[in-house]
Amino acid sequence: MIAFVSGPVAALAPDSAVVEVGGIGMAVQCAPNTLSGLRVGQQTKLATSLVVREDSLTLYGFADDDERQTFELLQTASGVGPRLAQAMLAVHSPDDLRRAVATADEKALTAVPGIGKKGAQKLLLELKDRLGEPLGSMPAARAPQASSWRDQLHAALIGLGYATREADDAVAAVAPQAEAAGGTPQVGQLLKAALQTLNRTR
């Protein structure tokens, strides 16, 4: 198993990064919150999980070991593959997921694209004894980030090589979509919309 990759960031895309390791470019699938902290040319170290399929080998990257371990534990639940597990971590931090399961917070799970009410109820039952107790004491440990979708999106666009003015314009362009969504906007969806806007203006 590849536990982590470390090296300079060679390239960034909306859902992945390429990290140069010993002269080899390792493609790593990452959630938007992880990608937003990366910059082309800068050193990084990502905790990773290798998902093996009959026709593919996919490396998933995370900001830390806690995210990686949570990603792997989520997949022990029936119906949860790597894509859905990554989507859950894109919306909630590991501790928020532990708290949601510990408190049977169905609404928190249905906030993840791809999880409906019945799916959330099933996950709460299956994950109850697997994720463990929340580590933090604050009931909303990640709440301050909810209002910083602009900062996360802006950082992700800059990391992808866009100029500050282009990033500013793209963030402004998707603001109505974010406000219409209500609650906590999905940065991944906003990033895709922002990239479409930038492609149209180029």
Section 44-52 average pLDDT: 94
Residues 97 and 58 in one domain: no
Give the end of a domain, one of 62, 79, 96.
62
Check residues 162 and 116 and name the one with the higher pLDDT. Answer: 116
pTM exceeds 0.85 for this model: no
Residue 133 maps to a domain = no
CB 6, CB 21: distance < 8 Å: yes
CB 128, CB 76: distance < 8 Å: no
157 is in which domain, residue-wise?
Answer: 147-201
Residues 14 and 49 in one domain: yes
Quick one: pLDDT band at residue 143, thresholds 50, 70, 90? Answer: very low
- Contacts of residue 39, defined as CB under 8 A and 6 or more positions apart, other chains included, come to 9, 158, 159
Q: Is the pLDDT of residue 59 over 80?
A: yes
Section 84-95 average pLDDT: 89
Residue 49 maps to a domain = yes
Which CATH number does the domain housing residue 105 bear?
Answer: 1.10.150.20
Q: Is the pLDDT of residue 17 over 90?
A: yes
Give the lowest-confidence range in 117-131, 148-162, 163-177: 148-162
Domain count of the fold of the chain:
3
Q: Is the pLDDT of residue 22 over 80?
A: yes
Predicted local confidence at residue 136, as pLDDT:
63
Residue 134 maps to a domain = no
- 160-183 pLDDT tens trace: 777 788 888 888 888 888 777 665
Section 70-84 average pLDDT: 92
Residue 142 maps to a domain = no
Instruction: Estimate the share of the chain in helix, then strand, then coil, as percent rounded to the nearest 5.
Output: 50, 20, 30
Predicted local confidence at residue 2, as pLDDT:
86
Residue 135 maps to a domain = no
Q: Is the dihedral of CA 26, 31, 37, 40 positive or negative?
A: positive
Predicted local confidence at residue 159, as pLDDT:
66
Residues 154 and 119 in one domain: no
Residue 102 maps to a domain = yes
Residues 58 and 72 in one domain: no
Which CATH number does the domain housing residue 24 bear?
Answer: 2.40.50.140
Residues 75 and 98 in one domain: yes
Residues 99 and 122 in one domain: yes
Q: Is the pLDDT of residue 39 over 80?
A: yes
Which CATH number does the domain housing residue 195 bear?
Answer: 1.10.8
User: What phi, psi does 142 have (nearest 5°)?
Assistant: -105, 5
